[in-house]
Amino acid sequence: MAFQPIVDLSSRRVFAYEALVRGVNGAGAQEVLSQVTPKNRYAFDQKCRVTAITLAAELGLAEQGAYLSINFLPNAVYEPSACIGATLEAAERVNFPTSNILFEFCENEAVDTEHLLHILQSYDSMGFKTAIDDFGAGYAGLNLLARFQPDYVKLDMGLSRDIDTTPVKQVMMRHTVAMLDGLGITPICEGVETPEEASVLSEIGISLQQGYVYAKPALAELPMVH
């Protein structure tokens, strides 16, 4: 696992660290995920959760007051209450508070909407924070948002890239943020690469940001924010 911070510009602290899967030889996430099949999906998803929690505890993430953001594969969760067992056991074993866990819905595969809603609602009822990842680029969209409002929405990096020089993206981002604000959802912008992009996003009202301008993912450590 590598970790990348999500910074809160309003409080000038790290809001969360996202756990990002890496191969044993440093292989990137896409190479690892390309080897996930229907047969090994459940075991892979469970292993990622346990590894992320164990490493986060060793690195003292919770002591910093930050969330641990874990991506999950919806199609690996056959029944939320049953599949959460290993997560809870790992957290208890390493004394990591479950109140510091944020689950991100990973949109790298098509998923049945009813099944996804059941997972998100179940995690919400268990007290976990939830987030929709890559909003605006994947399978989830406004139809899902109309039926379930997560705590956070991570806006796809395609919207934030070059936003400082792309007026149409600024208009789209302002209206998206206004919609999320009306729904009581906090936006997070990922893929922020330049100070100019960060400045425009902050002016629009997005204080939670993630990207290389702050820190690159670091393998098995919590990177310092620039």
The answer to whether residue 106 scores a pLDDT higher than 70 is no
Domain residue extents for the chain: 2-219
The answer to whether residue 76 scores a pLDDT higher than 60 is yes
What residues have CB less than 8 Å from 35, skipping those under 6 apart? none
Tokens of 202: 């902050």
Pairing of strands 13-20, 67-72: parallel
Longest dimension (CA), the chain: 50
- Cα–Cα distance for residue pair 34/24, rounded to 1 Å: 15
What residues have CB less than 8 Å from 23, skipping those under 6 apart? 31, 32
Q: What is the pLDDT of residue 115?
A: 84
Using CA of residue 21, residue 23, residue 29, residue 35, what is the dihedral sign? Answer: negative
pLDDT tens per residue, range 107-117: 555 667 888 88
Q: What is the pLDDT of residue 31?
A: 86
Superfamily of domain 2-219 in CATH is EAL domain (3.20.20.450)
135: pLDDT confidence band, cut at 50, 70 and 90?
confident
Whole-prediction pTM value?
Answer: 0.91
Inter-residue contact 114 to 153 (CB < 8 Å): no
- Cα–Cα distance for residue pair 183/53, rounded to 1 Å: 30
